[in-house]
């Protein structure tokens, strides 16, 4: 798409708090022609092991994104002025049958991916990363994954069930959706079931930047390790908002103490901006436990940084 993109509603003409709720007040996909980047919601939380409520994440993050502005000074770039972004609405996923839900998600993401260059998904619980990785790897081959999360999410089963929000990256690794030489968790912390969890995790292809590592060595060292491991491979970024400390993201289902600050997370994501982010999700926002939109605003800013990085990658690819 090369003509001038259609941007969000102008906040100096239509008040920010007016109008239909789309991410950042972007146009709906049906209201624009060709779209470079689609933001899509997946209101699904049937995979949770503790507090439910992430099914209301997409509408909450959209509502919390109304104050975003076009120019991102931290990346010196105006994403939606450079490429066409649009809100593609929500993917309908069966809340009563998780196997059907993941098929629906994989199909809908594959179909959307045929029409747009990149997709940023707003969840929903972390289960959705599994079908999203299926769709993205069908397009690009096995992708490098940077997974921001308090949790490993490479556990095997819960109640003997293989598809849950604690297991998506194990299933994705077993199914060959991820590049086992180039994937990483960031922000991991807290109690595990046993030491074997870490051995399994390594075997499944992940190395780990713990929350403590970020505190000890700082954001630049973390960014350097990420760049070294990923290189120029196609990169999928999955952000579980519980990577943030509960002080920065109370509105989530499985909170763990000792997490990143939102400032640290935003900086690390910006550090990925010169890599090739081909797809991303922001998951596990559960508004019932949120206060003053703390979690929703953090998630909307994370999504904004990722969208900016994606737009820059598209512009680089065009040789502009
Ligand atoms: N993906 C998230 N947020 N949490 C996974 C927690 C799995 C457990 O209860 O052990
Ligand atoms: Zn988590
Ligand atoms: Zn997770």
pLDDT category of residue 210 using cuts at 50, 70 and 90: very high
E strand or H helix that includes residue 111 = helix 98-115
Q: Give SS3 for 104.
A: helix
Q: How far is the CA of 155 from the centre of ligand 3 (A)?
A: 11
Q: How far is the CA of 282 from the centre of ligand 1 (A)?
A: 15
Length of the chain: 320
**Which ligand is located closest to the Cα atom of residue 165?**
1
* Cβ(281) – ligand 1 distance below 6 Å: no
> How many DSSP H helices and E strands does the chain contain?
10, 8
Beta bridge partners of 188: 210
Radius of gyration of the chain (CA): 18
Q: What is the mean pLDDT of the chain?
A: 97
- ipTM for the predicted complex: 0.98
Q: How far is the CA of 236 from the centre of ligand 2 (A)?
A: 17
* Cβ(87) – ligand 1 distance below 6 Å: no
* pLDDT for residue 1: 54
- Protein residue with least CA distance to atom 9, ligand 1: 49
243-289 confidence digits (pLDDT tens): 999 999 999 999 999 999 999 999 999 999 999 999 999 999 999 99
Phi and psi angles of residue 211, each rounded to the nearest 5 degrees, phi first:
-60, -40
Q: Tokens for 61, please give them.
A: 């993050």
* Crossing angle for the helix pair 262-270 and 219-230, to the nearest 10 degrees: 40
Nearest-atom index, ligand 1, CA of 253: 3
In this structure, are residues 24 and 66 in contact, taking their beta carbons and an 8 Å threshold? Answer: yes
DSSP secondary structure letters along 24-69: GGPPBGGGSSSEEEEEEEE---TT-SS---GGGHHHHHHHTTTT--
Whether the predicted model's global pTM rises above the 0.90 cut: yes
Per-residue DSSP letter, 4? P
């Amino acid at each position: 798409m090369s003509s001038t993109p259609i941007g969000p509603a102008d906040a100096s003409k239509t008040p920010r708090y007016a109008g239909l709720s789309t991410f950042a007040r972007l146009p709906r996909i049906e209201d624009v022609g060709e779209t470079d980047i689609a933001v899509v919601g997946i209101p699904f939380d049937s995979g949770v092991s503790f507090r439910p409520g992430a099914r209301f994440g997409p509408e909450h993050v959209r509502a919390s994104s109304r104050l975003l502005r076009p120019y991102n000074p931290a990346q010196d770039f105006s994403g939606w002025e450079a490429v066409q972004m649009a809100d593609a609405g929500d993917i309908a996923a069966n809340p009563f049958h998780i196997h059907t839900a993941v098929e629906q998600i994989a199909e809908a993401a594959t179909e959307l991916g045929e029409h747009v260059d990149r997709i940023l998904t707003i969840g929903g619980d972390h289960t959705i990363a599994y079908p999203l990785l299926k769709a993205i790897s069908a397009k690009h081959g096995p992708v490098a994954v940077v997974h921001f999360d308090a949790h490993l999410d490479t556990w095997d089963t819960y109640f003997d069930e293989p598809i849950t929000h604690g297991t998506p990256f194990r299933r994705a690794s077993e199914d060959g959706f991820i590049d086992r030489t180039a994937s990483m968790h960031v922000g991991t912390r807290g109690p595990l079931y046993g030491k074997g969890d870490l051995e399994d995790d390594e075997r499944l292809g992940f190395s780990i930047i713990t929350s403590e590592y970020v505190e000890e060595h700082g954001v630049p060292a973390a960014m350097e390790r990420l760049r070294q491991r990923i290189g120029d491979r196609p990169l999928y970024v999955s952000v579980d908002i519980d990577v943030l400390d509960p002080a920065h993201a109370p509105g989530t289902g499985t909170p763990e103490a000792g997490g990143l600050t939102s400032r640290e997370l935003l900086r690390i994501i910006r550090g990925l901006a010169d890599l090739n982010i081909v797809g991303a999700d922001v998951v596990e926002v559960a508004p019932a436990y949120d206060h003053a939109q703390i979690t929703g605003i953090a998630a909307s800013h994370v999504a904004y940084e990722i969208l900016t990085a994606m737009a820059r990658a598209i512009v680089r690819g065009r040789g502009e």
